[in-house]
Structure 1
C-alpha cells in the first residue's frame, strides 16, 4: 500500500474513532450531575419549601422543590437550571423570585439529585411538559413564568413554544447546543453526532408570549453575540437585557441583573402606539441648502 494511502486510512480511522467516542461520551462531557440520597433533606435559611416526586410514564421519578413567597403569590416561576450539580445548590437562587412574590419550582433532570431514569433529549422534554401540566392543574397559564438558565434555556424555549405561559426568560442562552460544541470540535460532524442538539433558535419562532433574554458581555462559554442573534428571531416579542461585564456564572453578583429582574417581573406588558412615535420619520443624509 502506498505511503500516502496508508496515511489517509490512518487519519480516517482516527477521525472515525474520535466521532464514535464523542457520540458515546457526550453525556459525560455535557452533564455534570450531583446525585443525592433518597433521604436527603433540603434546608434553606428563611425559605419555606415543599418537596415533590413526580412519576413518569416510563417509571422514572422527577424530583422537584417548591419555594414559597412571603405573603400572597403572584404566580409561579418554573426554573430550569444549568447542566451541573442538583437543585440542592441551585435552590439559593429561588430568593430572586420569591422576594417578588412568586412561587418557584425547581426540578432536577434525570440522573441529577434524586431524579431517576435514562436521560435523553426526548425524555427530558417529555418530563418537563409533564411538570408544566401539573402546574396548570394548580394555577392558570397567565401566572406561569418559564426561566431557563444556560442548558435549561433550550428546554424553556421548547416548553414556551408548546404552551402559553405569561413570560419566557432566558439566562445566558445558546443558539443551539450543536453551535456551542462546534467551537471546541469545529471539524467534527456534530449535526450527526449530537444527541442533544437543543435548537433554541427553532423553538423561539413559535413562542407567543413576551421573551426576555439576559446575557453578560464577558460570557466566555456562550458569547453575548449569541443572544443578539436569538433576539432577532422573534423581535416583536423579544427584549434583550445586557449585563455589562457579566460572565457565564456570575450574573447574580451584578446589581444590574437584579434591576433587570425587577423590571421584568413587576412591569406589565404594554402595547406601544407607534403612531405617536418617530418610527416613520426619515433622517435625511443630504445637506440642507441655505440661501444667502
Structure 2
C-alpha cells in the first residue's frame, strides 16, 4: 500500500468517526438542559403566576408557567426560550411583557426542567402545537403573540406558519440550525447528520402575520447578517429591529431593546395609502438641459 493511500484511508476513518460522533452526540452539544424535581417550587418575587402541566399523546409531560399582568390583559405571549437551563431562570424575562398587559406562557421543552419525554424535532413541534391549541381554547388567535428566542425562534416560526397569531417576534434567530453548526464543522455533511435542521427561512415564507426580528450587531454566536438575510424572506410582513452593540445573551440590558418591545406590542399602525406618496417618483440620472 502506498503512503498516500494509507493517509487517505486514515483520513476517511477519522472523517467517519467524527460524523458518527456528531450524529449521536448532537443532543448533548445542542441542548444544555437544567432538570428540576417534580416537587420543585417556582418562586418569582412580585410576579403573579401559576404552574401548568400538559400531558401529550405519547405520555410525556410538558411543564409551563403562566405569568399574569397586574392590569387588564391585552393578550398572551407564548415565549419559546433558548437551548439552555429551564424556565426557572427564564421566568425573569416575563416582566418585559406583563408590564405591557400581556399574559406570558413559558414552557420547557422535553428533558428541560420538569418536562419529560424523548426529545426530537418532530416531538417538540407537536408539543408546541398542542400548547398553542390549548391557548386557543382560552382566547382568540388575534390576541396570541409568538416570541422565539435563539433556539426557540425556529419553533416559533414553524408555529406561526401553521397558525394565525397576532404577530411573530424573533429574538436573535438563525437562518437554519444547520447553517449555524456549519460554522464549526464546515467540511461535514451536516444536512445528512443534523437531527434538528430547524429551517427557519423555509417556515417564514408561509407566515401571514406581522414579523418582527430583533438582533444585536455584536452577536458572535448567530451573526447579525443572519437576521438581515431572514428579513428578506417575507419582506412585506417583516420589520428588522437592530440593537447596536447587542450580543447574543444581553439584549435585555439595552434600553433600545425595551423601547423596541414597547413599540412592537403597543403600536397599531394604520395602513399607508401609497398612492399619496412619492413611491413611483424616479430621480433623473442626468440633469436636463434647458431649452433655448
Query: TM-score, normalising length from structure 2?
Result: 0.99
Distance (Å, rounded) in 2 between the aligned partners of 1:59 and 1:278: 59
Distance (Å, rounded) in 2 between the aligned partners of 1:59 and 1:177: 28
Stretch deviating more after TM superposition (265-274 or 56-65): 265-274
Distance (Å, rounded) in 1 between the aligned partners of 2:269 and 2:190: 39
* Unpaired stretches in structure 2, ≥5 consecutive residues: none
What pairs with 1:58-69 in structure 2 (closer than 5 Å)? 58-69=58-69
What is the number of residues matched between the two proteins?
Answer: 292
Q: Deviations over 1:177-211 (max 9, x none)?
A: 00000000000000000000000000000000000
Stretch deviating more after TM superposition (45-54 or 270-279): 270-279
Q: Deviations over 1:115-161 (max 9, x none)?
A: 00000000000000000000000100000000000000000000000
Structure 2 equivalent of residue 39 of structure 1: 39
Distance (Å, rounded) in 2 between the aligned partners of 1:288 and 1:120: 65
Distance (Å, rounded) in 1 between the aligned partners of 2:94 and 2:177: 26
Q: CA deviation at 1:288?
A: 3.3
Structure 1 outlier segments of 4+, above 6 Å? none
Distance (Å, rounded) in 2 between the aligned partners of 1:167 and 1:55: 27
1:17 to 2:17 alignment: yes
Matched position secondary structure for 2:268: coil
Q: CA deviation at 1:283?
A: 1.3
Query: TM-score, normalising length from structure 1?
Result: 0.99
Instruction: Name the Cα RMSD after superposition.
Output: 0.9
Q: CA deviation at 1:22?
A: 0.3
Matched position secondary structure for 1:138: coil
What pairs with 1:185-200 in structure 2 (closer than 5 Å)? 185-200=185-200
1:153 to 2:158 alignment: no
Q: CA deviation at 1:7?
A: 1.0
Distance (Å, rounded) in 2 between the aligned partners of 1:186 and 1:162: 32
* Unpaired stretches in structure 1, ≥5 consecutive residues: none
Q: CA deviation at 1:289?
A: 2.8
Q: CA deviation at 1:291?
A: 6.4
What pairs with 1:123-138 in structure 2 (closer than 5 Å)? 123-138=123-138
